[in-house]
Amino acid sequence: MGNRLSRIVTRTGDDGTTALGDGTRVRKDCARIEAMGEVDELNSLLGLLISTLAAAASSPVGATASAQDWLLEVQHDLFDLGAELSVPGLLRLDQSRIDALEQQVQALNASLPPLKEFVLPGGSTAAAVCHLARTLCRRAERRGWALAAAEPVNPLSLRYLNRLSDLLFVLARTLAREGGGEILWRNRRAGP
């Protein structure tokens, strides 16, 4: 494999444009670049989550080790999704990646009690980072749908982001319960 980035400073983006993977130049604020940026930001935050889980690995946390492994796989998937966004028409994600997320959701959710109230983000550092990743994933999905309104986008990629946000929610619940406990919303308007 040759060098992908032989020069970091190119100055080609100084005019407010950037190149897609196929060489097409587009404005840096176009819907495709916005979607790519959100996926990149999500991937970066997942790196922080993995690092947070690794730092907590010395404690007896059941989901931590396996979560690090499959979150790394998710990072690879997000690079594939970014490639799809960078090269219009390229298809990298398939149903098997969505199925893998759904299996993880089911496995984690099986050990959680049913929710009777909304969960506040927090409960532990890892859970809070995971909730932040969940919200960023939702934003990436929204940007993907905004792009899909104007240009073709792999619908499996959008489903993938939807399932990933579900997975991050149940992982956040799991991490909060293992790290001290979930914090449930107190609905002050519900009455006594």
Higher per-residue confidence, 137 vs 21: 137
Domains of the chain: 17-109+121-180 (1.20.1200.10)
How confident is the model at residue 59, as a pLDDT? 46
d(CA 113, CA 184): 13
Per DSSP (E only), the strands in 73-184 are: 119-120, 183-184
Written as six digits, the tokens of 41 are: 């930001």
**What does the DSSP 8-state code read for residue 191?**
-
Please determine, for residue 15, whether its predicted confidence score (pLDDT) is greater than 80: no
d(CA 2, CA 76): 20
Please determine, for residue 5, whether its predicted confidence score (pLDDT) is greater than 80: no
Which amino acid, residue 42?
L
Is 140 in contact with 44 (CB distance < 8 Å)?
no
Please determine, for residue 128, whether its predicted confidence score (pLDDT) is greater than 80: yes
pLDDT in tens, 170-192: 999 999 988 778 877 887 776 55
Nearest Cα to Cα of residue 75 among 94, 105, 104, 49: 49
d(CA 45, CA 39): 10
